[in-house]
Amino acid sequence: MRNFRFPTRITLSLVALGCGLLLGACSEGNETPASKEVGKVDKTTAAPALSAVAQVGEKLFFDKALSASGAMSCASCHDPAHAYGPPNALAVQLGGAHLDKPGLRAVPSLRYKLVTPAYSNELFDPDGTEPPGPGGGFSWDGRANTLAEQAAQPLLSDFEMGNISREAVVEKVRAASYAPLFLEVFGSRAFEDGVKAFAGITQALEAFQKEDPDFRPYSSKFDAYVMRGKGTLTVPEQRGKAVFYDPRRGNCASCHIPDLNQFTDQMYAAIGVPRNPAILANAADKFYDLGLCGPLREDMKPERSLCGMFKTPTLRNVATRSVFFHNGVMTSLEQVIRFYNTRDTNPEIWYPTKGGKPQTKPSSDFPTYGLITTQYAGGKVQKFNDLPTAYLENIDPQMPLDGRAAASKPPMSEQDIADLICFLKTLTDGFDEAADKKQPASGACVN
């Protein structure tokens, strides 16, 4: 986990861009009532009109006919009502021509992607505290350098929208009700060149994500308090903020830096997330998802020092998610924080034990919040079971995942964990100050 900061000249330009934006400001049957939507922007009063190319992108984003199944759109997995993340608790989504092919990774949110540099093996660290390292790009492995490149991936993936070719996608757009608008934007003969037409499709999807403020509403309690000086953080939220920054406890800010309010350093790290048996591909013993080293990214396979690394996601709206990490193996925010806190002190509750005797009843001090709920007598814990031994040296040693001895004291206390959860909830979009004042006078996150 690198303590990354953008170079000064880049930071200044991105701050200006971010300020301008602010001032200007998966499945069937999973629709969410408007009252429960996460940070939805009121476009009737707040949002400027989209350009014609972005209007095409909006049509494309919600068009299920673009998929081989005719039942999946971009919005099926990147649901606006769920911060443009998945609308369900599946570790991976089902796609393909018959919606029966499982993916390999959890679906990330599409929010807060605008300030994303292109991928580089040596993204500059201006602080000089770490040498340049892998950073930037879109998706868990950074294999797309622009939103347009990223948009092309699910359209052509056999386990997502399932189109067999770019031409197949173009033909579907040609038959769509918004085809006249596409021709108006890209020219009356736009469909005659399949390569250019497909590029126009991805360009339009990129424009929609760049222009629509719903992809970056900055409407959380944190934004109201820090950026607009409205309201206050409760005592638990303030304590949680301190845990977030404290390098001896949560140390979250070392990777999920608040710079430009993105809550990610855009860098990559290997932290040894446990293998998820719910992913069908993991049934094969020799299959490993190595992030930067494949299988979805092929150009970095020779770079052994990068194997097992995945991109640091934004923590914005993290409290609204149902699955976490690249493989969706964790199912609650509390579980994620406890993993960071006890991966090394209690590895037996996160990784399977080989050999040993399962106990009928665990001891009273055996934690029950992990992935493994059976206590074993003897045996060997298969720590880092989703990373081949040859790449274990790539595991990041930074706090709180600092490799401390098993059965030693974790870096965060129970109070720290509770408070950190309270602070992370302040990053949820759609904060209503008036409603917040009506909240109960007692609870874990109130004074």
pLDDT of residue 75: 98
Q: Which pLDDT tens digit goes with each residue over 387-411?
A: 999 999 999 999 999 999 999 999 9
Cα–Cα distance for residue pair 93/439, rounded to 1 Å: 35
pLDDT of residue 177: 98
Q: Which pLDDT tens digit goes with each residue over 233-262?
A: 999 999 999 999 999 999 999 999 887 789
Residue 345 class from Cβ within 10 Å (0-12 exposed, 13-18 middle, 19+ buried)? middle
Would you say residue 67 has pLDDT above 80?
yes
pLDDT band at 52 (very low <50, low <70, confident <90, very high): very high
Q: Which tokens is 295 given?
A: 């299988």
Query: Taking the model in full, what pTM does it have?
Result: 0.88
Instruction: Please compute the mean of the pLDDT values over residues 43-49 and round it to a whole number.
Output: 62
User: Which residues make Cβ contacts (< 8 Å) with residue 353, sequence separation at least 6?
Assistant: 372, 376, 379, 380, 381, 382
Cα-only R_g, the chain: 22
pLDDT of residue 89: 96
pLDDT band at 130 (very low <50, low <70, confident <90, very high): low
Compare 149 and 32 and report the one with higher pLDDT. Answer: 149
Question: What is the per-residue DSSP string for 271-288?
Answer: --PPP-TTSGGGGSTT--
Question: What is the per-residue DSSP string for 285-299?
Answer: TT----BTTSSS--T
Q: Which tokens is 308 given?
A: 């097992």
Q: Which CATH class is domain 25-215?
A: mainly alpha
Report whether 57 contacts 208 (CB < 8 A): yes
Instruction: Please compute the mean of the pLDDT values over residues 268-278 and round it to a whole number.
Output: 97
Q: Which pLDDT tens digit goes with each residue over 158-192?
A: 999 999 999 999 999 999 999 999 999 999 999 99
pLDDT band at 47 (very low <50, low <70, confident <90, very high): low
- Residue 269's DSSP bridge partners are 310
Amino acid letter for position 94:
L
Would you say residue 10 has pLDDT above 70?
no
Task: Using alpha carbons, list the distances in angstroms from residue 9 to 14, 260, 413.
Answer: 9, 14, 40
pLDDT of residue 433: 85
Q: Which CATH class is domain 221-437?
A: mainly alpha
Task: Using alpha carbons, list the distances in angstroms from residue 70 to 122, 281, 318.
Answer: 41, 25, 30
Report whether 54 contacts 212 (CB < 8 A): yes
pLDDT of residue 129: 57
pLDDT band at 38 (very low <50, low <70, confident <90, very high): low
User: In this structure, how many other beta carbons lie within 10 angstroms of the beta carbon of residue 293?
Assistant: 23
**Kindly report the CA angle at 34 between 28 and 36, in degrees rounded to 5?**
90
H runs (alpha helix) in 140-220: 147-156, 166-174, 179-186, 194-211
Q: Where are the domains of the chain?
A: 25-215, 221-437
Residue 131 class from Cβ within 10 Å (0-12 exposed, 13-18 middle, 19+ buried)? exposed
pLDDT of residue 203: 98
Instruction: Please compute the mean of the pLDDT values over residues 130-149 and round it to a whole number.
Output: 93
User: Which residues make Cβ contacts (< 8 Å) with residue 189, sequence separation at least 6?
Assistant: none
pLDDT-above-70 percentage for the chain = 88
> For residue 166, which of 148, 139, 188 has the smallest C-alpha distance?
148
pLDDT-above-90 percentage for the chain = 79
pLDDT band at 46 (very low <50, low <70, confident <90, very high): low
Cα–Cα distance for residue pair 267/133, rounded to 1 Å: 8
Report whether 353 contacts 406 (CB < 8 A): no
User: Which residues make Cβ contacts (< 8 Å) with residue 95, sequence separation at least 6?
Assistant: 67, 69, 72, 101, 103, 154, 157, 159, 160, 161, 162
Q: Which pLDDT tens digit goes with each residue over 96-115?
A: 999 999 999 999 999 999 99
Domains 25-215 and 221-437 share a fold: yes
> For residue 417, which of 307, 341, 351 has the smallest C-alpha distance?
341
pLDDT of residue 81: 97
* Residue 107 per-residue DSSP state: P
pLDDT of residue 20: 35
Q: Which of 41-50, 91-100, 293-302, 427-436 has the highest mean pLDDT?
A: 91-100
Cα–Cα distance for residue pair 202/169, rounded to 1 Å: 11
Would you say residue 45 has pLDDT above 90?
no
Residue 358 class from Cβ within 10 Å (0-12 exposed, 13-18 middle, 19+ buried)? exposed
User: In this structure, how many other beta carbons lie within 10 angstroms of the beta carbon of residue 291?
Assistant: 27
